[in-house]
Structure 1
Amino acid sequence: MALEHTPVADHPLDPLSPEEIETAYEILTRERNVGEDSLCIKIELDEPDKEALEAYDETGETPDRRARTVIRNGAERKTIEATVSLDEDAVVAWEHVEGAQPSIAIEEFIACEETVKANEEWQEAVERRGVENTDRAMVDPWSAGHEFIPEDVDRSKRLAHGLTFLRPSEDDGDEGYAKPLTGIHTFVDLDRMEVLKVVDYGPPDEDQPLPPEWMAYREDDVDLREDLAAYNVDQPDGPSWSVDGHKLEWQGWHMRVGWTQREGLVLYDIGYEDDGDGEVRSIIDRASCAEMSVPYGTTDVNDRFKNAMDVGEYNIGRLAKSLTNGCDCLGHMHYWDAVMNTADGEANVLENAICLHEEDNGTLWERSDWRTESDEVRRRRRLVVSFVAAVGNYDYIFNWYFYQDASIEVEVRLTGIDSVSTVAPDEDPSGYGELVAPQLNGPIHQHFFNFRLDMNVDDGPNSLYRVENRTVPVGPDGTDPMGEADDRTHNPGGNAFYAKREKLTSEEAAKDLIDPLKGRYWQIVNENAENRLGRPTGYRLVPGGNVEAAVHPDSSVMDRSGFIRYHLWATPFREDERFPAGRYPNQHPGGAGLPAWTEADRDLEDEDLVCWYTLGVNHVTRPEDWPILPVQVYSFKLQPDNFFDESPAIDVPPQHAIEGQDVPGHGACGADGTDADAEADDD
């Protein structure tokens, strides 16, 4: 199967190259004293503002190439934000962000585990559970959050909360998740890399402190089924896309592919060319998964503290994996590498971080006429831009699908290993969790993903509407919402209903929850642009499966992850409003981000509109989730709504036209409705 790699292109939104990352750190350390043992948490592109990008598009004037850097000076317990101009070879901004804790670096995770395992009090707690060789243990550092920290641990320090598991041997990896050493909680000062406190609540059962079974899921450890035939995707003529650096074109779609350490995959300048004249109509300026929250619902002291914010606390882009040919993607693939930095300010290149491929996705449209016995069938193909992040025990797959009918689907697939804890042999978690294996409890929890969509339908400005079904009263007062009551518009049969469109004119009005019983969706429109029917052009945001946050409204989870309170938020664009839980959610007490911004209740009519959609997943665990969770799939869609004059998918050719002939065995239907295979059989 063909693989492609493309060098870095010259565009203001291209991610920093390895050379630019190392140059930025060299300039920073040359001009400023960052501290001898400081950690370089992040070096990434300081994206040009919209005015600079517009000037570049119109005149070719290239904006200043800048790097945004976050430094943690552990010796002085300071977080520094600096901006380095690569063009000017100078530091142009420097700020000590008071009280901020940046995301935890991978290097800190590694050092934290080593620090915990060297601690005698921790070793004694492990040995009390019958473990003679403490080197077999593994420690997962969780973000400490804000609540559930012992009173004698200083919350102003840079903290991690370590959980301990037992591996079959010193060389085994995540098989240790099958045997949690539940009850041991280790709090570590990451700045000083020292253990502050070991709390041991004791094992759930003194006689049987560990679950009896190990886990097996690797290829060499499982009896594999033998009745599965090979399935290969063959594209002998190559793909239908065009890639130039980070610019991507496919089936009318145009966009730029980018990356940040915090968000992972970022898509810019998403637009559609619908008339073949080269003019691309804008839809979205910038799109990404901007934050996550994973609260656990159990009352148990060993799990109730868990609420991972994997984007802001861990830098989910830094936790991405290198994708594998034939495993993560099939067919003809194109890969982009992700260029990031180490804690020492050196370039770290993750190969094949982003995968691009096409895939068949069933029927696009079909029409069969019984009068003429003719039919027309079109296969639906979609473009997939994806990345995968391994966050501790969980694996998250982010897929952005682009379809031939000009719709977009944003999908998250959850897999990996459940976060589990040990229970006593006769213990029933009673709804706060479920047994996934003997003495192994999977606590109930939820996953929330907040997607930031910087909308720009037909170059804006845009407005926002809620659309949902409404019934018409029965009797003489039942009226057509589009006109005055008369004999024709009464609803005597009770069958009448209509799509109610309500303009959401302010941030407060836009805070909304899904309502699938009413068919609720939201429409982003440009009221200054019309299709041939005189309707304002727009796109609709259509929810898929979702869930309401189950935590208490006054909980620490809701304070710190306030974006989970609503499924939809909308704000007027501001350059500094990028992350829905604020710039630095790690150990933050809460209230930052969307809840704080929207207190102003700013106007949303004819604005540069940003929509924030929260996708929620409810996970009541089950034995079928163990040892590896089969993917759980959740998504939402963006569909054109009066954006076109007719279906943009009408010109997709039938299969035989793509292949150049009716290929036996493919079931290709001709324009006259005859099936090539059927004719061959008749002969």
Structure 2
Amino acid sequence: MLTAEEVGVVRAVLEAEGRLGPSVRFVSVIPKEPGKAELAAFVPGSPVDRVMRVQLLDRADGASFEALVSVTRGTVDSFEQLDTRVAQLPILNEEFVAVQEILDGDPRWQEALARRGLTTETVLATSLSAGHYEIEGEAGHRMVRAFGFNQPRKTDLPWGHPIDGLVAYVDLTENRVREVLDHAVVPVPEDPGNFHDPAYTGPYRTSMKPIEITQPEGVSFTVEDNLVRWENWTLRLGYNVREGLTLHDLSFFDKGKGRDRSVVHRASIAEMIVPYADPSPTRFWQNYFDQGEYLFGRYGNPLELGCDCLGEIHYIDAVIADEAGEPLTIPHTICMHEEDFGVLWKHTDLLVGVHETRRQRRLVISFFTTVGNYDYGFYWYLYLDGRIGFEAKATGIVFPSGYQEERSAYTTEVAPGLGAPFHQHLFCARLDMAVDGHRNAVDEVEVVRFPVSDANPYGNAFGRRATRLTTELQAKRDANPALNREWHVVNPEVTNRLGRPVGYALVPEGLPTLLADEQSSIAARAAFARHHLWVSRHADEERYPAGHLVNQHAGGAGLPAWTSADRSVDGEDIVLWHTFGLTHWPRPEDWPIMPVDSTGFTLKPVGFFDRNPTLDVPPGSRGGHCHGDGQEQ
């Protein structure tokens, strides 16, 4: 994780090299993680060279740069100017502010508002990433597209008053409006949606009694320099401005074998895309990469006890660089706690009179980020039985439009005259697997039905089929819930006591992937989201599924480019890329604020252990005996 001292050194080194100036802004400072070979050769106590990857934008002319800066040696190891005709750096907060000023001063924008009886005094601009549509004059320029929202009072939320049928294309390189598209005057909806105002919500209910979660003897985990130990699990935590929370070196202590066994080398949510379904002239371009275009790690929320987290909580602060290159600490960004999770296992045996129950428990590691109108919670779960779970929680405000019957095929009316276009929230998990070592393979396992035959005279038989995915192109796969399809990551070089390769199963939810047409711009730019599974040969620099630079990129970078080599993934050092997410048909119940909707996946041991690894979990939630009828049993 980045420290405030390191941010200060980065700025000082670049300033000393003459690389900064009054119009240069820091887009991101992200630790360059050591490669696997370097990590394997590392000897504890040896010096560590901390290198930062730094992205810089010159607001004066849009020139973009990427540097590698060693904070250990105080040197600039490389400094490269980027080709902005190919892609742009992520959008700055400062640029969002600039768009409001640019629009307010544009006569075409003022005239369009006047047609609706509005002025710039009450209209707020919402700037959104422009995508790539080969629009003349946009190549090499930093573009955003902007909608307007009316805000009758400064205390009102503007989301209930979208100014539909109107969009502006804003050039941030030249600080001007390139085009105002005034397609149709749509009535501005009037429902205020002020969920923060009791005058709108009504008085709070008084029927809810307190729920208290306590651990009188303290928590069962320890954290030291971001090294976490909990039950049989050991892992390290990281955080960066692009991915947010990252997990490293996840291993499980196997008491039967007397050693820690690796499971995952590195896990993160490496990209997400929110594509919208409204094809209207002012909205067809709405597709957001919340990481590659906005860097959602910089919007991490300071979490609050009793609201965001409940129980005995351990918090970790995150440090990022602000746009001036100064350290910015987000307090309590990462929340860590234990949860009771119901029954772990149970059996009442009538033959011998045995009745045993054990309770499941999980370690929860989470953070929340707010990107514009939506809020996302990212939750990693570690379980006593060796499972790893991930859950993304989407809440916040659905992106609104005016409602028109002719667009009802793509939009829900969520309040009178207020529309919410259909859209998806698609996430891509990067899972650098290390199942009992770094040489792994993937088997696709699914149901097989057997017809009636001499071997199956009554037709009741069914089984499973395992197909080894041997190359990168073969390993572009889609889930199939009807076949119970899952992917087993196995180590061909390590067997369990039954003589079979040890493994972990990636169990997908199997919900839809990208629904946009294959010929669309977003299908090219977010190709990763067209399949539930990709498997690639590990390479240290292959980190982001849509490519290193996403903003205004035409597509084809990232996974499509890497896997075109069709490298072997059978018994190699491999990375799984798993696309999962929600297809959101907004409901009236989602207005004015959306109750959490969730999606995720599970990594489950399959033959990794020789038997149930939780036989030593004691009865009772406190490690003592269960209680029934007021007496211990």
Q: Alignment partner for residue 414 of structure 2, among 416, 420, 436?
A: 436
> What's the offset of the Cα at 1:272?
0.8
Distance 2:257 2:462 in 1: 41
Aligned partner of 2:209 in structure 1 is: 229
> What's the offset of the Cα at 1:87?
1.8
In the alignment, does 2:531 pair up with 1:566? yes
Unaligned runs of 5+ in 2: none
> What's the offset of the Cα at 1:343?
1.1
- Equivalent residue of 1:110, what SS? helix
In the superposition, relative to structure 1, how do residues 377 and 428 fare at CA in structure 2: closer, same or farther (>3 Å)? farther
Aligned partner of 1:98 in structure 2 is: 83
Aligned partner of 1:137 in structure 2 is: 123
Aligned partner of 1:344 in structure 2 is: 324
Q: Alignment partner for residue 276 of structure 2, among 289, 296, 301?
A: 296
- Equivalent residue of 1:500, what SS? strand
Question: Which letter maps to 1:433?
Answer: T
- Equivalent residue of 2:178, what SS? strand
In the alignment, does 2:294 pair up with 1:314? yes
In the superposition, relative to structure 1, how do residues 231 and 334 fare at CA in structure 2: closer, same or farther (>3 Å)? same
Q: Alignment partner for residue 237 of structure 2, among 257, 272, 285?
A: 257
Aligned partner of 1:543 in structure 2 is: 508
Aligned partner of 1:453 in structure 2 is: 431
In the superposition, relative to structure 1, how do residues 656 and 125 fare at CA in structure 2: closer, same or farther (>3 Å)? closer
> What's the offset of the Cα at 1:656?
6.2
Contact 1:74/1:192 (<8 A) preserved: no
Residues 251-294 of structure 1, C-alpha deviations (whole Å, 9 max, x = no match) = 11111110110010111111111218873211111111111111
Aligned partner of 1:60 in structure 2 is: 45
Aligned counterparts, 1:596-675, within 5 A: 596-655=561-620, 658=623, 660=624, 668-669=626-627, 675=628
Distance 1:277 1:16 in 2: 36
Aligned counterparts, 1:343-492, within 5 A: 343-424=323-404, 427=405, 429-476=407-454, 490-492=455-457
Distance 2:111 2:23 in 1: 31
Contact 1:103/1:313 (<8 A) preserved: yes
Contact 2:2/2:318 (<8 A) preserved: no
Residues 597-642 of structure 1, C-alpha deviations (whole Å, 9 max, x = no match) = 1111110111111000000311111111111111111111000111
> What's the offset of the Cα at 1:326?
0.8
Q: Alignment partner for residue 677 of structure 1, among 627, 630, 633?
A: 630
- Equivalent residue of 2:41, what SS? helix
Distance 2:489 2:69 in 1: 37
In the superposition, relative to structure 1, how do residues 373 and 167 fare at CA in structure 2: closer, same or farther (>3 Å)? farther
Unaligned runs of 5+ in 1: 1-14, 477-489, 663-667, 670-674
- Equivalent residue of 1:510, what SS? coil
> What's the offset of the Cα at 1:73?
2.3
State which drifts further: 540-549 or 113-122. 113-122
Contact 1:55/1:61 (<8 A) preserved: no
Residues 338-391 of structure 1, C-alpha deviations (whole Å, 9 max, x = no match) = 111111111111111111011121111111123344421112111111111111
Aligned counterparts, 1:6-405, within 5 A: 15-56=1-42, 58-99=43-84, 100-132=87-119, 134-147=120-133, 151-172=135-156, 175-204=157-186, 209-218=187-196, 220-221=198-199, 222-223=201-202, 224-275=204-255, 279-405=259-385
Contact 1:52/1:63 (<8 A) preserved: no
Contact 2:510/2:532 (<8 A) preserved: no
Question: Which letter maps to 1:284?
Answer: V
Structure with the higher strand share, 1 or 2: 2
Contact 1:135/1:170 (<8 A) preserved: no
In the superposition, relative to structure 1, how do residues 652 and 308 fare at CA in structure 2: closer, same or farther (>3 Å)? same
> What's the offset of the Cα at 1:428?
5.6
In the superposition, relative to structure 1, how do residues 464 and 377 fare at CA in structure 2: closer, same or farther (>3 Å)? same
Distance 1:119 1:650 in 2: 70
Distance 2:353 2:2 in 1: 58
- Equivalent residue of 2:492, what SS? strand
- Equivalent residue of 2:170, what SS? strand
Question: Which letter maps to 2:138?
Answer: D
Identity %: 40
Count of residue pairs brought into register by the alignment = 629
Distance 2:67 2:619 in 1: 55
Question: Which letter maps to 1:258?
Answer: G
> What's the offset of the Cα at 1:550?
1.5
Contact 2:344/2:358 (<8 A) preserved: yes
- TM-score, length of structure 1 as denominator length: 0.89
> What's the offset of the Cα at 1:111?
2.4
